[in-house]
Amino acid sequence: MTEARQPGIINVRGEPADGQIMNLHFSNSETIFNIHTDGIPYLSVDLLDRLGVPNLYSTRFLSYEAEHGRGTQGLRVVVMNGEDLEEAAPVVFGNRDRLARQMGASIRQECVTDQMHTNHVYLVRPEDLGPILRQDKPKERRSVDGVITDLPGAVLTAFGGDCPPVYLADPVRRAIGLVHAGWRGTLGRIPAVAIQRMREEFGSAAEDLYAAIGPGICQECYEMGEEVREQFADQWGEPAAERIFRRFPAFAKDGSEIPGGKFHLDLMEANRMTLLAAGVRPERIAVSNVCTKCNADVFYSYRAHRMENEQAAMLVNRWDL
C-alpha cells in the first residue's frame, strides 16, 4: 500500500519496467486516499479507514506490481451496452466479488441500483442482497441513486465514470449510506436526502456521521451549459450558484475563443456544502483531491471519452475498530 502524501504526480511504482504505469495526479497534499496494490488495485478513503469501515474506489487496473512498476488494465465491474451478457456477467461478478473479498466481504452481501441521475434513496432489505446486474433491478430499485442500510455485513456498491460517490458512515447506529452524485443528483441534494432517510430509518444524527466525497471530475474539467447554472441558482439561490460555478475559457470547433467562456461546476464543493447544511461536522468530511478526467489513464472517464467500463465504489457495513 502506498499513501498519497504530496501534491502533483504520484508514481505508484518501483524501478522502470514493462507494463502500464499508474501515475496519479492529486490537486493538493492532503492524505485523502490510501492506495492499495495487493490484488485488484483500489483507493480507500483515509477518514473511513481510520474509522474502521471497509471502503474502496476501483481503477482501470486489474493488477499492479508497485515494486516493479508493472500493471495490467481492463478491469470490468459492470456490463456495458453492447456487451455480450453471457460472456460479460461472470467477469463483472467475479471482479466485484474479488474487490469485496479484499475488504473481507462478499458479493453475496451486495446491493446495487440502476443509477438514473435522480435523488432517490432506497432502504436496503435482507432480500435485496446478492449479485445482480444493474440492468436487472426489481421495480422498487429502479431510478435510484442512493442506498442506505444498517444490515451487518451489507456491501453497498455504486458505479460511475466522472460522477463522485458520497460515502456516509454512522458509528453510533452502525449504519452506512452510499450515493451516486452526478450534477442532477447534486442539484437534488442527494447526500442530504440520504442523511434524512438514515435519520428516519435508523435514528441517525447528522453530527454523528462521517462523510467522504470520492473521486470524480474536477471543476476545471466539468464544463456545463448556462441552463444548468440557472437551475442551481433557482433551487439553491444565487449566492450558492456563485460559489460553485466559475467561468473558464472555452473555444468553438473552429478554434476561436468563445467570449466570456463557459461555466464549470464544482461538484466536490457543491456536495460538501450539502453535507454541511445537513449538519455533518466539517472535520468529519473528506473531499476528493483526485479528478477522474485528469487521471483518465487510471480511471474510466465519460468526459475524457474513455468509458470502456466504469469504476465501482463500495462500502461495507462492518466496523473493524
| Distance of alpha carbon 183 from alpha carbon 148, whole angstroms | 20
The model's confidence at residue 23, banded by pLDDT at 50, 70 and 90, is: confident
- Residues with Cβ < 8 Å from 30, sequence gap 6 or more? 289
Q: Residue 194's closest CA among 266, 278, 134?
A: 278
What is the mean predicted confidence (pLDDT) over 182-191?
Answer: 98
The model's confidence at residue 133, banded by pLDDT at 50, 70 and 90, is: confident
- Burial (CB count within 10 angstroms: exposed 0-12, middle 13-18, buried 19+), residue 63: middle
The model's confidence at residue 12, banded by pLDDT at 50, 70 and 90, is: low
Whether 229 has a pLDDT exceeding 70, the answer reads yes
- Residues with Cβ < 8 Å from 268, sequence gap 6 or more? 164, 213, 216, 218, 219, 287, 288
CA atoms within 13 A on the CB side of 94: 8
Domains observed in the chain: 2-222+266-316 (3.60.140.10)
Whether 130 has a pLDDT exceeding 80, the answer reads yes
pLDDT, position 314: 98
Distances (CA, A) of 290 to 82, 205, 272, 293: 30, 29, 15, 9
Question: pLDDT of 262-310, one tens digit each?
Answer: 999 999 999 999 999 999 999 999 999 999 999 999 999 999 999 999 9
Whether 8 has a pLDDT exceeding 70, the answer reads no
Question: pLDDT of 267-277, one tens digit each?
Answer: 999 999 999 99
The model's confidence at residue 68, banded by pLDDT at 50, 70 and 90, is: confident
The model's confidence at residue 58, banded by pLDDT at 50, 70 and 90, is: very high
| Distance of alpha carbon 60 from alpha carbon 42, whole angstroms | 9
| Distance of alpha carbon 219 from alpha carbon 151, whole angstroms | 36
H-run or E-run covering 179:
strand 175-180
The model's confidence at residue 19, banded by pLDDT at 50, 70 and 90, is: low
